[in-house]
Structure 1
Amino acid sequence: MRGAQDSASGRGQVRATPGNLITVNPNEVHDGRPVAGESRTWRMLYLDPALIAQTAKAMGHSPQAEFIYPVLNHPSAVGAFHRLYAALTTSALGPRHEILDQELFQILTPLFGKSPAIQLPLLSKELARAKERIDAHPEVPVTLAELAAEAGLSPFHFLRAFKAATQLPPHAYRLQRQLQMARRLIMSGHSVLSAAYLAGFADQSHLTRHFAATYGLTPGSLSRSRRLQLRRPDEEMMAISQTQRG
């Protein structure tokens, strides 16, 4: 997050700078020294080796597969790490079980190296069904395993295909549909609290955080703007009436 460090790893000396992922395999000797004596800050997750082995197998790798990059500059994987970290350490960010597998796959893909290729054009019908399910009911949480089972694919292959088709993993795609649903509800007259509930958000603050990040304004601001727009025609008619009386 800040600062830089030099460290030993199973693959020699490496340097990590802000925005890099640092990985350590089980039983690997490692250390860390600040560059130029400056302080460092980072965010860290300890992942159970059994979970990594299970995920590696699902991705077509050996369960004994190790991370091949002690330091990785990969913006997509870094973004996935931040989302996973937030889901595991912050309350009211949505169903954690929906996020865990999807973000973990995206983090591990570059760390393990190339994965077996899949034929994306053959998956169009399955992807369409999954997309339609999310579009129809974005307020309903759905796991990667559920979507993959309906498509008859492994979760990892389904995730890769869905992201290739929509540019987003399923949970992020559902979040965008939730936000659109909440926006429509607010514009139709629902309160922010009601819109948050109906669109499937954990609470009003959960909606507000994501809404502001996506649209650049809070749902409360949108609601107030709508009320002002509805009030103006009445005020204009009143002003016209007063002018006519005068």
Structure 2
Amino acid sequence: MVEQVTSGISYFTTAAGVELLLGRLGLYRYAPHLHDTFVVGAVSSGVATLSIDGRVHHPRVGQLVLCNPLEVHDGSALSGDVVYRSSFPSTAFLQDVVTDGRPGSRTRPVRFPVSVVDDPVGAAMFHRAHEVSRRGDCALEAEERLVETYAYCLARHAGVRTAGAGRTAGPVGRAVTLLSDRYADRITLADLVAEAGVPRHRLITAFRRQVGLTPHAYLVSRRTVAAKALLRGGEKSSDVAARTGFADQAHLTRTFKAHFGVTPGAYQQAVRAR
């Protein structure tokens, strides 16, 4: 008998505004993409495989996955029936956890230096916080557990960002800034070369090495991130496609599902239902 492995990915949002994901990876593979938030997650069963900023990892039960904003990553099942949970706290949310919300408090930006860590205690805390949030029975308990879990992760696994860490400088940095600021425009390679001040092939090679994606792939990923925010705000998919630089709604749908595992409509319905 051949067992059929199915995939299913669902999103929901907590009362505190943190987006969460519950997924089952069968044959589905995430295309390389990025988020403008952190990713804190854990595998519930099976063994996954993913690369984060070019480094390959095989997260399993008892480990935490910690991804910083704008780090390129993908993901798929390696063995077994892979069920995983993820959360997407914003930089502002984690900074608030670090400072305990004290007005005027200053701290260096948060950064997780290691992407996959052995931490059965932290993984168990995260699973419990995620499940309580998913059930939605008590918003207070859900928020408390999530904040406590993030505080635990920050205390044990967050490094101190050194000057310039996590940022791309020089010609590639200028190209990244242009793509980030004008993601909805029809940007050409000539535009990037003019901004970066280096020849085309050198720019493409350096961009891929430093960022982990080609300039075009990075642009598309920035567009999907922007589309995600507009969908959460209630914008129609057809309007979102036009506002974020996609050729049409079908193009948005294909790309969005490749990056996030669900269609724009399914994502919008899930996050607005909570």
TM-score, length basis structure 2: 0.38
Q: More helix by proportion, 1 or 2?
A: 1
Q: More strand by proportion, 1 or 2?
A: 2
Q: Which has the higher contact order (CA 8 A, sep 6+)?
A: 2
TM-score, length basis structure 1: 0.42
Larger Rg: 1
